Each structure stands twice: as C-alpha cells, then as structure tokens.
C-alpha cells in the first residue's frame, strides 16, 4: 500500500482534486503522505498540549521531504473516569483507538505514520494499529507531567486518591486534602509516576518504535519539541529503508520490553497491553514469560507509587536507556534488534550513563533480585492473575486472609467507607472483568482508600478487574477466568481462606474441587452491568485478561 494508489494516473484526477480542495499543491501531493495521528483533546491533561507536539512532528516531516496529513484519535482520562460508570469505557476505548487509526490509514493509503499519543489506553491502542497497518511508523508521546510539591514533599495523583481515604479515616482534614488537590498535578502531561501511561511510553523505547527519551522527557520541556521534530525526520528514513513496525516489534523486542518492565516496576496494565500489541504483530505472547523473565531480572527502580521517585527523576538519572544499559551489563537484553533511530538497541544505549544510582540502582545492587511484576496461578486463578510485587510491602507478599466477597467495585467501596473492612480480610471484587464489567474497570478508588486508611499492610484485594498503575499494596488483578465466564472466583464465599504467595507465584482458596462443583450447580452468569451501545458489543467479543482482553 502507498499513496500512489490515490494520486497517480489519469483516473485519479478526482482524488487529486479533493486533495487540492484542502490547499495542497502538486509538489505536496507528489511527496509521500505521512499520517500524523493526533489524540489532542480538552479532557485529558496529558493531551491538552498535543497540538504543539504535532506541529513539531509536521515540521520534521516537511524538513525530510514528506507531506504531513493530520487526523484525530479519541482518548479517555482514567483518572477522571475512575470510580464511576465512566471507567467501564476506559479499556474498551483502546480498541476504538486502534480501529479508527487503522480505518483512516488504510482508507487513504498513507505511506507512513507518526503517532502522537499520551496516557493509558491511547498509547497501546496506537501501537496495536501500527502493527496492524504495518507501514513505517514512529511513536512520539506528549511526555510526562511534573511531580507536584507540598512543602518538601513531592506528590502525585496517587497522593490525592490516598488522601481521600485519610480524610474518611479521620487522619487528615479537608483543608489539607484541598492543598494536595491543588498541588498534585502542576502541569500538562501524563501523570508523574510510573503509572500505566508512563509505563507504556517507556516501553515504546524498549520495543524500538519510539525514540530514546520518549518515555521520560517531560511534557513541558523544549527537548520534547525537538524529539517530535526528530520523529518526523526519522519516519521518512524508515520509509526510505522500508522498515515497518513488524520488522521492529518482534518476539525478541517483546522479551526486551518485559525485561525492562520488570526492572522499572511498571503498571500491571502492561500485562494487558503487551499481549494485545504482540497479537497484532503476529507474535504469540505467553504470560508465563513474565515469571521466567522476572526470575532473572532485578528490580532497579521504585517510582511512584512504589517509591519516592517520579518520571522527572528517572529522566535526570539517564532515562530508560540508562536502565537498559544497566541490564545489558548482565546480558539480559537482545542488543542486535532494529529500532526507529536506524540503529540497533545496542548502538542506542552505547553512550547511556546511569547518572543517579539512587534512582536507577546498579544491576549488582538492585532493590530485589527479581522483577517488579509477578503472575500468580492456583485454584482461584487457573489461567493467571497479576500483581505489581515491587509496590507491595514485604510483609504482605505472603499472606493468608479471610474472603470478603463483593459483586461490584461500588459495593466494596461502600463497605470500606462504612468501616466494615477489617485487618486480615481479603477483599474479592468480582464480575468486573472484561465481559462481566463490562470493560474491566480499574480500581484505584478502593485500593487508594485502603492505603489512606493505613490498611494496605493488613488487607489484600483480589479482582477479575484491574488496577491503576497508581495502585500500591497487595492488590491482585486480572483473575482469569473471570467470574462472568464461570471462573472459580465466581464461587468464592465469605469466610473462605485465601492464601497468597508472591514469591512462589501462587494463589489458592481452601475450597476443594468437589466443593467448587457443588457451588457451581444452578449458576447462571449475570448480565453485564451495561447492555446497550458499544459496551454491549464489546462484552460479546472480548477475550479474557490473560490474553490481553483482545476482541475476537
């Protein structure tokens, strides 16, 4: 596919006429048409400035001899959608981003693309489309938000969510909460910790589809504008060499991504998005890789919510390339893979330097010998569930507690606010999976409230839904099969004992197979909570979390 199909020959005179209706000259039409996918909107702080980024991309494309043509993509802000009906639409919006980008690119026979996303589902949605369309593509995100500050303390959006719990528990006044509210998000950009948006932006670098610095250069920095111009230039080089996303996003590239994911302590949502992107790239992705890679990959960083540092600290310490350089010292990465720089992974990181070993621990002095994410299995989650182990207190990594079962996130929040959750409880929130939700809601509200109340070291939470990258504590998500598909989590009852071992990667409930069979008798899956519109179609097509919640 190339733009010659819509602009060359006598029979394409009508098509050229339509291009000229937009003011294009013959010279512009003759050049390669480079789609610039702009997810700008006025609803998401990570997107409010993307017009500026896109103009820089266009300048780079023009400098390198192409004609940029901009088109939009939607976006949902997970933070604003959190804790209410809106969160049903967040993960589901990933498919809309991918589908609409594919539709525009293929309908207009574009020669190449530069994708300008930011934030949670938009980055993976565009990466899915990049693999699907498979024309030369570079991703340049909008960059991260600055950390907030109250006195000498640096804070993020997580701090505000947890402060709500502190107010509910009587540990903080409303005035202090307001101070945090006003200070936590001081600039445009994707929220300042190693949450889902920044996790995926960092992993674009590792996959080789984003330029070095894409994950950590702040949104407000001039360097971000220069990076965007470079992206426009580089995509023209990719076009000249005919290097495409599937040439870059190979199995080995995904292994690199999982390795750096473990070192950085990324969001558990990466365990949904990496399989989905790999599926589009034709790479068979098995979640079992995660534990195998985690077993040999040290955790080098503890960024918010797992620790005190933020993306701006990682940037100043040398960024993702410095983390990769540390990992290469133990031969943990494939270094001979191509990237959009035109150089290999190894060539990209050759000059990288770890400038702050307090932020990026040296590979021989890690926070832990194993990676930040663990995939657990057992009779409660036969196909898998996921936890951000690096954000869990050591004392909670092996925990046995009593099940308190809720059939929705809303019911669990009501119980927490009412003081009905006790130390030693394991909250089980079910019917919130991809089908049952529908849409697999993030549950930052209950987890942050528990943390704000000081219960995150005494209470675990298990769900077939998922968690925000801002979540910390013993919060285990993506339980598969989900309750709506008849998974064992549907048959857990109040009072059952649940045992969690994040080191052994196991999760079990003290219910025998015979007892499970007895409890299954007469069970009928409840209807999804939303049965009309897009989500009704989504619920019918979506697969389980362990497969990346892709549509079939």
Closest CA to 206 of 116, 142, 277: 277
Question: Residue 507 and residue 214: Cα distance in Å, rounded?
Answer: 36
Question: Residue 540 and residue 352: Cα distance in Å, rounded?
Answer: 47
Question: Residue 214 and residue 39: Cα distance in Å, rounded?
Answer: 16
Question: CB of 551 within 8 A of CB of 541?
Answer: yes
CA 266 to chain centre: 8
Question: Residue 58 and residue 70: Cα distance in Å, rounded?
Answer: 9
CA 86 to chain centre: 18
Cα angle 431, 124, 221; round to 5: 125
Tell me the H-state helices in 282-407.
Answer: 288-296, 311-316, 319-328, 345-349
112-116 sheet: strands from edge to edge: 67-72, 33-38, 112-116, 137-139
Q: How far, CA to CA in Å, does 148 sit from each of 44, 151, 182, 361?
A: 17, 10, 9, 24
Q: How far, CA to CA in Å, does 216 sit from each of 49, 121, 280, 397?
A: 16, 18, 26, 30
Question: Residue 192 and residue 198: Cα distance in Å, rounded?
Answer: 8
Q: Which residues of 513-548 are buried (b: 16+ CB within 10 A; e: fewer)?
A: eeeeeeeeeeeeeeebbbeeebbeebbeebbbbbbb
Spatial neighbors of 62 by CB under 8 A, at least 6 apart, are 68, 232
Q: How far, CA to CA in Å, does 126 sit from each of 72, 112, 306?
A: 11, 14, 27
Active site residue 544: no
CA 517 to chain centre: 36
Closest CA to 113 of 95, 94, 96, 127: 127
Q: Can you say whether the dihedral through the CA atoms of 379, 385, 390, 395 is positive or negative?
A: negative
Among the listed residues 3, 39, 412, 468, the single catalytic one is: 468
Phi first, then psi: what are they for 354, rounded to 5°?
Answer: -80, 105
Question: CB of 316 within 8 A of CB of 352?
Answer: no
Closest CA to 517 of 486, 496, 543: 486
Active-site positions read: 468
């Amino acid at each position: 596919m190339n733009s010659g199909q819509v602009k060359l020959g006598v029979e394409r005179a009508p098509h050229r006429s339509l291009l000229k209706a937009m003011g294009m000259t013959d010279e512009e039409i003759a050049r390669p048409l480079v789609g610039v996918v702009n997810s700008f909107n006025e609803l998401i702080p990570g997107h409010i400035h993307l017009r500026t980024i896109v103009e820089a991309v266009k300048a780079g494309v023009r400098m390198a001899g192409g004609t940029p043509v901009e088109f939009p993509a939607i976006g949902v802000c997970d933070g604003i959608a959190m804790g209410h009906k809106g969160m049903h639409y967040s993960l589901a919006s990933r498919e809309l981003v991918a589908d609409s980008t594919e539709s525009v690119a293929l309908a207009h026979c574009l020669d190449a693309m530069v994708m300008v996303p930011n934030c949670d589902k938009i980055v993976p949605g565009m990466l899915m489309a990049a693999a699907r369309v498979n024309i030369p593509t570079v991703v340049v995100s909008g960059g991260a938000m600055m950390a907030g500050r109250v006195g000498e303390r640096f804070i993020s959006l997580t701090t505000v969510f947890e402060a709500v719990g502190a107010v509910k528990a009587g540990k903080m006044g409303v005035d202090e909460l307001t101070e945090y509210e006003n200070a936590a998000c001081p600039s445009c950009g994707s929220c300042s910790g190693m949450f889902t948006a920044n996790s995926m932006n960092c992993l674009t670098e590792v996959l080789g589809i984003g330029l070095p610095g894409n994950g950590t250069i702040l949104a407000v920095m001039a360097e971000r504008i220069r990076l965007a111009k470079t992206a426009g230039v580089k995509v023209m080089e990719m076009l000249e060499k005919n290097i495409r996303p599937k040439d870059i996003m190979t199995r080995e590239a995904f292994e690199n991504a999982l390795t750096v994911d473990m070192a950085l302590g990324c969001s558990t949502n990466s365990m949904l998005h990496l399989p989905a992107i790999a599926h589009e790239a034709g790479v068979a992705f098995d979640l079992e890789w995660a534990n195998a890679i985690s077993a040999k990959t040290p955790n080098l960083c503890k960024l918010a919510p797992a620790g005190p540092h933020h993306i701006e600290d990682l940037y100043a310490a040398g960024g993702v390339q410095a983390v990769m350089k540390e990992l290469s010292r133990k031969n943990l990465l494939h270094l001979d893979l191509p990237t959009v720089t035109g150089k290999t992974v190894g060539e990209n990181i050759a000059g990288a330097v770890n400038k702050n070993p307090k932020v990026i621990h040296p590979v021989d002095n890690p926070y832990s010998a194993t990676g930040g994410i663990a995939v657990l299995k057992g009779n409660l989650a036969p196909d898998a569930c996921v936890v951000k182990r690096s954000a869990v207190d050591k004392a909670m990594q092996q925990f046995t507690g009593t099940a308190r079962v809720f059939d929705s996130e809303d019911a669990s929040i009501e119980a927490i606010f009412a003081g009905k959750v006790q130390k030693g409880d394991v909250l089980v929130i079910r019917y919130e999976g991809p089908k049952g939700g529908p849409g697999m809601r993030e549950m930052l509200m209950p987890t942050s409230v528990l943390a704000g109340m000081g219960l995150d070291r005494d209470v675990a939470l298990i769900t077939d839904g998922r968690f925000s990258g801002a979540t910390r504590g013993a919060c285990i998500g993506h339980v598969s099969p989900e309750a709506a598909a008849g998974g064992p989590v549907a048959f857990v009852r109040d009072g059952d004992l649940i045992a969690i071992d994040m080191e052994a990667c196991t999760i079990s409930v003290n219910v025998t197979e015979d007892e499970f069979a007895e409890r299954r008798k007469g069970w009928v899956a409840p209807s999804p909570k939303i049965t009309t519109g897009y989500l009704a179609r989504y619920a019918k097509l979506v697969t389980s979390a362990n497969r990346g919640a892709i549509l079939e």
